Amino acid sequence: RDRFSLFASQRTALRFLRSHLPDPEDCRRKSRSQHGAVVALGKMGSAAQGALPVLKLLAREDSWSERMVALRSIVQIGPEVRDIPMFLRALKDEYRFCRVQGARGLGRLGRLASETIPQLKRAHSDNDESVRRAANEALSKIEIDAGRQ
């Protein structure tokens, strides 16, 4: 998508945020920045599922911080199986914060992400300890969830 349509989508997400947050003053304060709005959407959890399409667009942004915050919010709201490719891309991101969120997203999916076990095991050799830890936690969640089946 071009920048204009993405901007329109962001405005839609902000309108959604304004209409769903209980405190209008809090909403106005957070809507001043895209970052604050995306963080707030994540804190809303599953109530913000309507914003997932916009967040998934933001997860492809050039700015690593925008990608990371969007990925974290998607994880908090509730990822879907169709998000696996997005989390796998994040797991290969050049920025560790995005790789951590990729692993967390896969872990949140539990056994539904069992096909990603090889990629998560490869993340055990990541240079960053937080990525290795997130990958290990994701593997544990997937294995525990698969054992409950």
pLDDT given for residue 63 in this prediction: 84
pLDDT tens digits along 13-54: 777 766 766 565 664 554 456 778 888 889 989 988 999 999
Vertex 110, ends 104 and 111: CA angle to 5°? 145
Burial class from Cβ neighbours inside 10 Å (0-12, 13-18, 19+) for residue 138 reads buried
pLDDT tens digits along 53-101: 999 999 998 888 889 999 999 999 999 999 999 999 999 999 999 999 9
Contact yes or no for 34/66 (Cβ under 8 A) = yes
Contact yes or no for 135/128 (Cβ under 8 A) = no
pLDDT tens digits along 104-129: 999 999 999 999 999 999 999 999 99
